[in-house]
Amino acid sequence: MSTPTDWIKFHKNLYSHAELGLYLDFSDMGASETELQSLHQKVQDALFDMDALEKGSISNPDEDRQVGHYWLRNPELSPTPNIKLLIEDTIRDIKIFAFDILNGRLRNPGGQAFTHLLLIGIGGSALGPQFIYEALGLKKGLKTYFLDNTDPDGIDRTLDKLSNSISQTLVIVISKSGGTAETRNGMLETQAIFKKHDLDFAKQAVAITGEGSQLYNLSKAEKWLSVFPMWDWVGGRTSVMSAVGLLPAALMDIDIETFLAGARLMDEATRSKTIKENPAALLAMSWFIIGKGQGTKDMVILPYKDRLLLFSRYLQQLIMESLGKSHDLNGKLVRQGIAVYGNKGSTDQHAYVQQLRDGLDNFFVTFIEVLSDRQGESILVDEENTSGDYLFGFYKGTQAALSGNSRPSLTITIPDLSPASIAALIALYERAVGLYASLVNINAYHQPGVEAGKKAAGIVLETKTRLLNLLAESDQSLSIKAICEQLSLEGEEVLIYQILRHYAANHPLKVDGSFHDPANLSVILPH
């Protein structure tokens, strides 16, 4: 049962934004006034850093880049007239292009209107649009599908769903560099399907890429329908309000102006130097305090709305790619980061709330509450309650169960699933991540670990090519040890074995022995 003290604590720890209809309740996070006060100067310094970032400072020093995603929803903030014009022109071009597609002014070569959209990208170039589609997608826009991996089976499943409508499918290929392997592979697989159906891929294709990239040059040479820009001052995980997110959203018939306006309102709130009036500062401070500035507590995201299922995945990239860093800005080894996971309530409270309440105390929960149950009237499922009443009851019950066992949580409440509300959520977390990064003195805007993974993958593929060339030239069966010796890859026996095992599952390979006994295995290509 709550007490008068609980009411006082709730009121004291409640932030609200009247225009957005958004609330943040920190009353169950357990942060003391002393702890909050101890961070006051660090937060003011972080807000100063954020001011400099918005004014065009080199806020990604490792890559010598500006960080400009805040300019996307308020071009007036742009540090140069040219950037302002680029943003405004892109938004205008997106609206015109989407209007022409949705109203049948721009059609396929056969004169039919486009009915489906296939988006090919990976990471932030796919996850942002996917989240927007799930959260806000309407029946009036293009029915949207995604290729966001290089898994052949996943590609086949998606393209099979489009097989009867491929002629009326608009394809968007997204890659800043134009050389992203997963995106390139998805494009080539899609092009093969178009060729199989005697269709001209270029007549149904749009590129979103950096000027002068491989993809840019290809799209221009083949005369694709259109090309929209990606800029080096916008990172993938913060690109959802660039063409990356806005073009698909507009083709889904989502009001992108309202979307941008929601983010702009949140940006204004999160610039406040009065900490108790700044929701992003409050969020960053709560993360810092609960995790002792070292990310010792995992972040569990529990949205009580099916359409927000992908929000935890979206935040995984935004938070973990931004904050998961080995060194700080001074080169000191710090091993920073916050692990993020979650799904949706009330479904998943049946899966892991038992551990959250009674198991390891290594997390805090973020509940996402949506006040509006649905569009339209709800029936009573018993004498007094709707399905939405039950959802609210399960959310409050889970919160009470955790609180009763001293497990920390915070709650973000939004009025509805509108473009403004979703954009405000995104903008809130973007700013909170940037402020937290300043609190722990790291670069939130680069991703050396991701780049290292890409480089290592390239080495694996290069090794596979060398291995197959060796086998093609050999007239005798070779053991793993012999292969490594001939390729000067001593110590890489495990990798050679794994390459061969994967190859044999998909291509002809004569095997002497068994992959279940690697030490006595030898192989040769059939001649």
Count of CB atoms situated within 10 Å of the CB of 424: 29
CA 418 distance to own-chain centroid: 19
Active site residue 327: no
What is the residue whose two structure tokens read 């990208």? 121
Residues 6+ apart with CB under 8 A from 459: none
- Helices 124-136 and 243-251, axial angle in degrees (round to 10): 30
- Please pick, among 84, 143, 396, 454, the residue that the annotation labels catalytic: 454
Contact 54, 74 (CB under 8 A): no
**Two tokens, residue 510:** 């004569």
Q: In this structure, which amino acid lies at residue 355? A: Q
DSSP output for 385-443: --HHHHHHHHHHHHHHHHHTTT--EEEEEES-S-HHHHHHHHHHHHHHHHHHHHHTT--
Active site residue 176: no
**Two tokens, residue 454:** 């890409």
What is the residue whose two structure tokens read 């490594």? 484
Contact 349, 398 (CB under 8 A): yes
Active site residue 196: no
DSSP output for 163-174: TTTGGGEEEEEE
- Please pick, among 12, 196, 197, 350, the residue that the annotation labels catalytic: 350
CA 390 distance to own-chain centroid: 30
- Please pick, among 321, 325, 369, 430, the residue that the annotation labels catalytic: 321
Q: What is the DSSP letter of 491?
A: T
- Catalytic residues, which ones? 321, 350, 454
